[in-house]
Structure 1
Amino acid sequence: MAINDNVLIKIRDRKDSLTPVERLVAEYILANKEEIPHLSIKSLAQASKTSDASVLRFCKTMGYNGYRSFIVSISASLGSMDDEAGGQYTDIQAGDDLGTIISNVSRNNMRSIEDTLSVIDRGAVEKAVQALRASKRIVFFGIGASGLVCQDAEQKFTRINKICHAYTDGHSQLTAATLLERGDVAIFISNSGETPEVLEALEIARKNGAKAIAITKYNKSELSERAHILLSISTPEISIRSGAMGSRIAMLTIIDMLFAGVASADYGQVKKYLTKTHNIIAGKRRK
């Protein structure tokens, strides 16, 4: 169950990985959101040029037992989408003044976090925290912008005396995955879920018995299908001009959730490590 479920965001993110017939249903719903709660299953099937059975399959693909529960969720989602109407993702434009850029970047980052809260599974976060608490060591895998998230995660978990390391290039990832064992936790970070180096390391890690956690876009991908625990983010990258700004913020937020979850659950043990690491850095600042 998502923390703040919004089925319209889920449809938006899953659309490209649906079957051709299911995609017809998804596209019609997204283009005609306001009228959907008033349509019967037959009416939606006719409007989307599909069939009653296709609409029902689409509902089940999106995680609903039937059409009625799906429609109730659509109605609930419409209100929050209306609240966000003035806060759509905005790409970098030539000649934007600095005030506009400051506003747009801030709004995009906030929307990335809000949309991620709509798709992330609370139960999966709990499982990931438990796995990290029980782990012998933690290894993070990611390339490019995802590699920066790995480095942030390494810095955080090192502060509570967890044996961990971030690997951000293909060769070192293969070496690290080969040395993983049962009891280790490997976190694989990729927005697309199709990064070849990350997928290759994942396969090796699984064969060696390590627990595999994926942080990736809410969509059907190789990474989302093959990980033991899936932590989804929602943040459409608008174009190559925007780079990975939105996904990076969403991924960092999930890392913060995991770190805070582990630190809170084991606070009696980790408090001394947090205090020691804080004091040594604070001492450097005073010099």
Structure 2
Amino acid sequence: LAIRKNEEEVLKTIQLQSIGQIEDAVQKIHNADKIYIFGRGFSEMIAKEMTIKLQLIGKTCEVHDDPNIIRLKSRDIDKSELAIFVSLNGETAELVEACQNLSMKQVTTITLTTRIDSTLSKISDMTLVGYKGEQSFFPDYEVRSRLSLHVIARILLDAYVIRMK
């Protein structure tokens, strides 16, 4: 059951990806003077991994997971920069507020999420959506699997490295 659940999450997430959309996101990453990645809770680990990988390939990138810093930073980001949000449900208040701030300033935003109908998806310039199964082995806690977000992040960064070589 555990193996099948994870296999389903990976395969369905891959099927949801569009080559054109991945290419657009790669171009936005390439063109950005600096990249900010925002994540909260268990999504922080994906945000941190993305940041390190982007730094390793020479992109100026920083990650933020503190709600107050996310809110403040979103007011300072420049039009030549890019913001990436990692959010399982796309409703985290400080991420939504940050995306709204950036939208008003016409800063490009990319969201990695499992909910296309979320507030973050609706206000973000681009949304890369992953599959989220219905079953949770920890129903009392907000610790659902972020495997699909990992898969999207990996596809995006692999595509970036391939494209830029």
Contact 1:121-1:232 at 8 Å conserved across structures: no
Name the Cα RMSD after superposition. 1.6
Is 1:197 aligned to residue 90 of structure 2?
no
Question: How do residues 45-194 of structure 1 correspond to structure 2 at under 5 angstroms?
Answer: 90=1, 104=2, 106-194=3-91
The question of 1:259 aligning with 2:157 is answered yes
Gaps of 5+ in 2: none
- Following superposition, the deviation at residue 183 of structure 1 comes to 1.5
Which residue in the other structure is 2:108 paired with? Answer: 211
How far does residue 112 in structure 1 lie from its aligned partner after superposition? 1.1
| Structure 1: tracts of 5 or more residues without a match | 1-89, 91-103, 268-287
Does the Cα contact within 8 Å between 2:90 and 2:115 map onto a contact in 1?
Answer: no
Q: Could you tell me how far 1:237 is from its partner in structure 2?
A: 4.7
Structure 1 contact 183–209 (Cα < 8 Å) conserved: no
Percent of aligned pairs sharing the same letter? 24
Residue type matched to 2:55 in 1?
T
Distance in 2 between the 1:119 and 1:257 partners?
A: 12
| Cα drift, residue 122 of structure 1 | 2.5
- For 2:45 and 2:154, locate their aligned partners in 1 and report how far apart those are by CA, in whole Å: 14
Shift of 1:108: 2.4
Separation in 2 of the partners of 1:209 and 1:238? 38
Which residue is equivalent to 1:244?
A: 144
Residue pair 2:116, 2:122 contacting (<8 A) in 1 also: no
Query: Does the 8 A contact of 1:141 with 1:166 survive in 2?
Result: yes
Provide the aligned length of Structure 1 versus Structure 2.
162
Larger helix fraction of residues:
1
TM-score when normalising by structure 1: 0.54
1:218 CA drift (Å): 4.0
Structure 1 segments (4+ residues) deviating >6 Å: none
What is the alpha-carbon distance in structure 1 between the residues aligned to residue 19 and residue 115 of structure 2?
A: 14
Q: Which has the higher contact order (CA 8 A, sep 6+)?
A: 2
Distance 1:196 1:148, change over 3 A: same
Contact 1:119 1:218 in 2 (8 A): no
> Do the aligned partners of 1:135 and 1:183 also contact (CA within 8 Å) in 2?
yes
Question: Is the Cα–Cα contact under 8 Å of residues 217 and 232 in structure 1 kept in the other structure?
Answer: yes
Distance in 1, matches of 2:13 and 2:133, equals 11
Residues 80-107 of structure 1, C-alpha deviation per residue, up to 9 Å, x if partnerless? xxxxxxxxxx5xxxxxxxxxxxxx1x33
